[in-house]
Amino acid sequence: MSNHDRIGLTWISFLSYALTGALVIVTGVVMGDIAKYFDMPVSEMSNTFTFLNSGILVAIFLNAWLMEIIPLKRQLIFGFILMLLAVIGLMLTKSLMLFSVCMFVLGVVSGITMSIGTFLITHLYDGRQRGARLLFTDSFFSMAGTLFPVLAAWLLAHTLPWFWVYVCIGVIYLAIFILTLSVKFPQLGKTASNENQPPVEKEKWGVGVALLAVAALCYILGQLGFISWVPQYANANLNMNMLQAGGLVGSFWTAYMVGMWAFSAVLRFFDPQRIVTVLALLATALMYWFVNSGDPAMLKWIILALGFVSSAIYTTIITLGSLQTKVSSPKLVNFILTCGTVGTMLTFVVTAPIVSHYSVLTALKTANGLYAIVFLMCLLLGFVTKHRSHGNWKH
């Protein structure tokens, strides 16, 4: 593979995560204006955005097989067409049903692109470089999640229609589309016959993949379950105003993004199984400290440390999953991603009844328990992992 193709494919991976981050995190900013547009309560309008998450989940799940049937370049070109149609649909729609369909299509496009982006990184980079590159790629999710809400707020403050936010997000896919036309993609499965590549020997995933799948689901469910209810906990239990409570969430994501940059530089020097076990233990301890601390002044520092320590866990889990076979398998990578996305889907399904029947504090303790499970899965992985025989991790 030429250096031009490698750089182009790497940037497609970066932008694929930026696209998903922009679509998911901008929702909270535009929801109020969209609710007014359709003359609906915000609480009811929020349910409509489930179509976005559903589209992401369906696409990631199905693309584990589609990547071996439909060439990656063709998928991204088709995704650009779908993105264009969805954005035009949002600009023209007066129907809530059409809006929901467009949101689902955006989710599908995002899921396809992110699954391809993740696979490209695991395919292009091996061993010690893979974890660092994947972590750096994931930082584009956070960067887009930081920048696009600000852009969306600026557009809405200047009385521009809400759909212009999605037009701006579409520019990310335009960049992906331009890069797609200029690079050569790796061929997989049935599509590899034209490249005269030898067939890849099928390899059993093993128990390690099951442990990593549970870890991915519990980590995302625990993280989002925790961060979703922190403002309510701080407001109701510690008498902090909503501005201060919201500041805790901002502190978490800021530290999370900084942590991604820091760990992308240092992760290549450590065995991924050992470092993720240590990080999961630290994150569990910090969350326990947060949940049991009654000092509002300490919470900001605890959550900053928690965000920093947590930042490398999910991408290291994906990296370890990709290293459980000699050749990075798109099905395996997408399986781990799907489990994480299921955690996203279950966030309020699991935590809302807990809050309703018990308390917000109980929901936070449940999230802490899920982090403890992540630590246990990573610890057990050390006894069955295959990554040390598939990469340079023996010292």
- Superfamily name with CATH number, domain 207-390: MFS general substrate transporter like domains (1.20.1250.20)
For residue 129, what pLDDT is reported?
75
For residue 186, what pLDDT is reported?
84
Average pLDDT of adjacent 10-residue blocks, the chain of 395 residues: 87 92 78 84 70 86 84 93 95 90 94 90 77 80 78 84 92 95 80 50 77 94 87 82 75 86 81 92 96 87 94 88 75 83 81 85 95 96 77 50
For residue 144, what pLDDT is reported?
82
In whole angstroms, what is the distance from residue 206 CA to residue 324 CA?
Answer: 8
In whole angstroms, what is the distance from residue 294 CA to residue 270 CA?
Answer: 36
Burial of 181 (0-12, 13-18, 19+ CB in 10 A): exposed
Q: Which residues contact 334 (CB under 8 A, 6 or more apart)?
A: 60, 61, 63, 64, 67, 115, 118, 119
- DSSP structure class, residue 210: H
Q: Which run of H or E residues covers position 56? A: helix 50-66
Domains 3-186 and 207-390 share a fold: yes
For residue 97, what pLDDT is reported?
92
Q: Which residues contact 349 (CB under 8 A, 6 or more apart)?
A: none
Tokens in use for 311?
């930042």
Helix-strand-coil split of the chain, %, nearest 5: 85, 0, 15
Q: Which residues contact 272 (CB under 8 A, 6 or more apart)?
A: 131, 316, 319, 320, 323, 387, 393
Task: Tally the C-alpha atoms within 13 A of residue 125's C-alpha that lie toward its C-beta.
Answer: 21
- Number of DSSP helices (H) and strands (E) in the chain, helices first: 16, 0
For residue 7, what pLDDT is reported?
92
Polymer length of the chain: 395
Delimit the domains of the chain by residue range: 3-186, 207-390
In whole angstroms, what is the distance from residue 379 CA to residue 391 CA?
Answer: 19
Please, are residues 86 and 105 in contact by the beta-carbon 8 Å criterion?
yes
Tokens in use for 196?
């005269």
In whole angstroms, what is the distance from residue 113 CA to residue 162 CA?
Answer: 24
Topology adopted by domain 3-186: Growth Hormone; Chain: A; (1.20.1250)
Query: Which pTM value belongs to this model?
Result: 0.76
